[in-house]
Amino acid sequence: QAESGAAAEAPESGQKYKCLLVTCEGGLRKITLNRPSKKNAITVEMYNEWVAALKEAAEDPGTVVTTITGAGDYYCSGNDLSNFMGIDPSNMQEYSKQSGELLNRFVSAFIEFPKPLVAVVNGPAIGVSVTVMGLFDAVYASDKATFNTPFSNLGQSPEGCSSYTFPKLMGPAKASELLLFNKKITAHQACELGLVTEVFPEASMQQEVWPKLQSFAKLPVKSLVYSKALTRDVEKDMLHKVNRMECDRLVERWTSEDCINAIMNFFSRKN
Amino acid sequence: QAESGAAAEAPESGQKYKCLLVTCEGGLRKITLNRPSKKNAITVEMYNEWVAALKEAAEDPGTVVTTITGAGDYYCSGNDLSNFMGIDPSNMQEYSKQSGELLNRFVSAFIEFPKPLVAVVNGPAIGVSVTVMGLFDAVYASDKATFNTPFSNLGQSPEGCSSYTFPKLMGPAKASELLLFNKKITAHQACELGLVTEVFPEASMQQEVWPKLQSFAKLPVKSLVYSKALTRDVEKDMLHKVNRMECDRLVERWTSEDCINAIMNFFSRKN
Amino acid sequence: QAESGAAAEAPESGQKYKCLLVTCEGGLRKITLNRPSKKNAITVEMYNEWVAALKEAAEDPGTVVTTITGAGDYYCSGNDLSNFMGIDPSNMQEYSKQSGELLNRFVSAFIEFPKPLVAVVNGPAIGVSVTVMGLFDAVYASDKATFNTPFSNLGQSPEGCSSYTFPKLMGPAKASELLLFNKKITAHQACELGLVTEVFPEASMQQEVWPKLQSFAKLPVKSLVYSKALTRDVEKDMLHKVNRMECDRLVERWTSEDCINAIMNFFSRKN
């Protein structure tokens, strides 16, 4: 049932990824985030697999258009906060530094991705899965999707180049509600703000979006790659600089009282 | 009646500002432009006090979110044109130069302001009070508010970094109507253009906006300050450069026939 | 019938342009693309005349506001693909290089144009006539107008600085549909995306737009020119750089199999 967005959680035999399902047909590559029981929260392993899957897509001559979608009800619930758990407090600084490097590598993979990259947002999207959308070429969303970047609620700060892409896209007056004030928005609101390309009714989304993407995958790949390069190359240095600044700030934030208290509260509410 | 936006004009005893009312409670600082009988037009004294009040807000450890609003029916009618009156024509060049330095210092205070800065636009806003909104983090407006930047009608040119922030925000096709062609827009139009964050019905605005801002003022201040810095620092040099160019141009414009004739016409129509 | 947009195709006696009609009255200059039987497709001759007409407008002290519109039903159907026909294949490289230089010169004329420049889009607009709109100061469109940039369908890539201006204006999620995926949009959609300033009903457009433009042409020209310079000068170097990159890419694209096949298909479908 890959077409319906409800992929099975069990990895297929021979599947090279544990947290992703990857298929490719007629030039259209589909990368499905596949931890539906955890709302597709991103573990350290999934960050690494996602980067590897983008590299594979970039290098495969048969891939024209690459899509990201989620298995189950969620698109992606963002960074798996359990990544923070079980860390020896004496190692917290070192762990935070490593996490910053991982995040930097993850976001760089989007900045550098050379072919059209499309998010098919089947449900709620949170945190870094929202912020990197500013680096996608198109975002098609279900009308049940929501978009939430609760950084300051968690004592954190923006990533995914959103501190640059969001104000550029929607202006500071709208971006601050998302980046500073934790506002959760609907798919239609995200579309008005320019973060989402088009919104589809939940019931017909899968039937409408995939044929459209299949037709895009038949366009001349060189024209697509060169056209994307023209739109992106003039700001690539800026994006890498912003990515570095954001990650350095988060390395500090993750070891701050603000963040530690917020995450402890999150887990105590949960239990 | 500070909450209702209809502050008394008489300065409170011990009040350190003559043209402003300043309060701070629960992390939320409220700076009220307080010349309601003059539609809060900005005199030389008020420019200086506004800069001082922003400095005080930036330095006060108890201030998390800072707001600007207007006493009475207007938010702010912009530069008080009587600033131009009574100047000895032989001193006009020198006066114009000093005004350019004052404006540069005023706009710089917004570029450099490190904490979330929110405009609560209770009524019509004109000129520089509109243009600096591109440097705010959020703008909440009454549905009775209007936004007007009649530069070319007055033989002048844009300031407040609007020649940079407005085209970035809404594109040249929309920005030119405001910056070149003197179009006055409603709060709803300003919201569609991204200049305004959200529009509230006049009747309920005060009851809706202040509790929202009070909740923002309880967020971790470091996350807010660092997040704002990420969104602003990469363009700070550009903003200062634009501010300088705009002020230099206005020093020339203020002594031009275009401007002198327009201002004389303004006062002859008024009398 | 210059006012109605249905200019006669025959050149007036003494008219210095063969493909354009140019009039100027009360500070308002009107440049009409005048090949209605060919949907105002741009021949090599028309590119050169358009550049000359912009130079004339820039230098004429009596011109305050300059407008571009189309004779007949179309605004402009873009590059005349018959420009590609009848070229000796052994000269294709050289021809492509010359075309790149012509395009670069054409787009530079818009980047450098110092006075307010307004498109009055009376009908469908295609290709380079759409992409350079990001360099105009205002775009008024009939509700019958459409906007189409079918680059990848033709094996080509964006020009007119659209690879920079479109993502800046509407964000990558919306710009990709136009620049990568050949989406044709309506005037109302173009207005929501910020490419169009305002949409008028076909029936009343001519009566509404021209008086508005006549009033703009009475504003102080120095304030308009200096204000436009403030909005544009800080990105002029970037625009020239983007223009050069886009033209270099098209020189490669025009001699590619993707493009040659697409153009041969276009003409075989037509015949």
The reported pLDDT for the residue numbered B12 is: 46
Residues facing B138 on adjacent strands:
B118
Residue B11: is its pLDDT beyond 50?
no
- Residue pair B256/B77 in contact (Cβ under 8 Å)? The answer is no
Residue B17: is its pLDDT beyond 70?
yes
Residues facing A32 on adjacent strands:
A21, A69
Residue A158: is its pLDDT beyond 70?
yes
| Residue A259 Cα to chain centre, angstroms | 21
Residue A10: is its pLDDT beyond 60?
no
Residues 6+ apart with CB under 8 A from B146: B124, B125, B184, B185, B186, B187
Contacts of C216 in chain B (CB under 8 A): 180-181
The reported pLDDT for the residue numbered A70 is: 98
Would the CB atoms of C134 and B172 count as touching at under 8 Å?
A: yes
Calculate the average pLDDT of chain B.
93
Cα separation, B139 vs B137, in Å, equals: 7
The reported pLDDT for the residue numbered B263 is: 82
Residues 6+ apart with CB under 8 A from C154: C259, C262, C263, C266
Nearest-CA distance A29 → chain B (Å): 33
The reported pLDDT for the residue numbered B5 is: 41
Best of C156, C157, C170, C253 to substitute, by most chain A Cβ atoms within 10 angstroms, is C157
Would the CB atoms of B219 and A182 count as touching at under 8 Å?
A: yes
The reported pLDDT for the residue numbered B83 is: 79
CB of C224 within 8 Å of a chain B CB? The answer is yes
> Among B194, B96, B118, B171, which Cα is nearest to C164's?
B171
Mean pLDDT of A182-210: 98
Structure tokens at B235: 């363009």
> Among A181, A180, A222, A187, which Cα is nearest to A201's?
A187
Mean pLDDT of B215-225: 97
The reported pLDDT for the residue numbered A262 is: 86
The reported pLDDT for the residue numbered B166 is: 98
* C-alpha gyration radius of chain A: 18
Contacts of C244 in chain A (CB under 8 A): none
Beta-strand ranges (E) seen in chain A are: 20-25, 28-33, 65-70, 117-121, 125-126, 138-142, 146-148, 184-186, 198-200
Nearest-CA distance A268 → chain B (Å): 19
Residues facing C20 on adjacent strands:
C33
The reported pLDDT for the residue numbered C14 is: 54
CA contacts within 13 A on the Cβ side of B268: 6
The pTM (predicted TM-score) of the whole model is 0.93
Helix (H) / strand (E) containing C53: helix C44-59
> Among A142, A123, A119, which Cα is nearest to A131's?
A119
- Residue range B66-125, pLDDT digits in tens: 999 999 999 999 999 887 777 787 888 999 999 999 999 999 999 999 999 999 999 999
Phi, psi (degrees; rounded to nearest 5) at A23: -130, 160
Residues facing A139 on adjacent strands:
A119
Residue A6: is its pLDDT beyond 70?
no
- Residue pair A163/B231 in contact (Cβ under 8 Å)? The answer is yes
The confidence band for A11, taking pLDDT boundaries of 50, 70 and 90, is: very low
Residue B4: is its pLDDT beyond 80?
no
Residue A31: is its pLDDT beyond 50?
yes
The reported pLDDT for the residue numbered A14 is: 54
Q: Which residue in chain C is spatially nearest to A168 when comparing CA positions?
A: C168
Contacts of B174 in chain C (CB under 8 A): 194, 197
The confidence band for A200, taking pLDDT boundaries of 50, 70 and 90, is: very high
Q: What number of other Cβ atoms are within 10 A of residue B244's Cβ?
A: 14
Calculate the average pLDDT of chain A.
93
Structure tokens at C34: 């005048």
Residue A139: is its pLDDT beyond 60?
yes
Sheet holding B125-126, edge to edge: B125-126, B146-148, B184-186
Give C186 or B8, the one with higher predicted confidence. C186
CB of C167 within 8 Å of a chain A CB? The answer is yes
Contacts of B244 in chain C (CB under 8 A): none
| pLDDT tens, N- to C-terminus, chain C (271 residues) | 334 444 444 444 457 899 999 999 999 999 999 999 999 999 999 999 999 999 999 999 999 999 999 999 999 999 998 877 777 878 889 999 999 999 999 999 999 999 999 999 999 999 999 999 999 999 999 999 999 999 999 999 999 999 999 999 999 999 999 999 999 999 999 999 999 999 999 999 999 999 999 999 999 999 999 999 999 999 999 999 999 999 999 999 999 999 888 888 878 887 6
Give me the DSSP letters along A113-158. Answer: --S-EEEEE-S-EETHHHHGGGGSSEEEEETT-EEE--TGGGT---
Q: Alpha carbon of C2 to those of B235, C121, C145: distances in Å?
A: 46, 14, 19
Give me the DSSP letters along chain B. Answer: -GGGT---SSPPTT-S-SSEEEEEETTEEEEEE--GGGTT-B-HHHHHHHHHHHHHHHH-TT-SEEEEEESSS-SB--B-GGGGTT--GGGHHHHHHHHHHHHHHHHHHHHT--S-EEEEE-S-EETHHHHGGGGSSEEEEETT-EEE--TGGGT----TTHHHHHHHHH-HHHHHHHHTS--EEEHHHHHHTTS-SEEE-TTTHHHHHHHHHHHHTTS-HHHHHHHHHHHHGGGHHHHHHHHHHHHHHHHHHHTSHHHHHHHHHHHHHH-
Cα separation, C148 vs C190, in Å, equals: 10
The reported pLDDT for the residue numbered B14 is: 54
Work out how many CB contacts closer than 8 A connect A with B. Answer: 91
Sheet holding A125-126, edge to edge: A125-126, A146-148, A184-186
Cα separation, C257 vs C260, in Å, equals: 5
Best of A174, A216, A231, A239 to substitute, by most chain C Cβ atoms within 10 angstroms, is A231
Structure tokens at C7: 């200019």
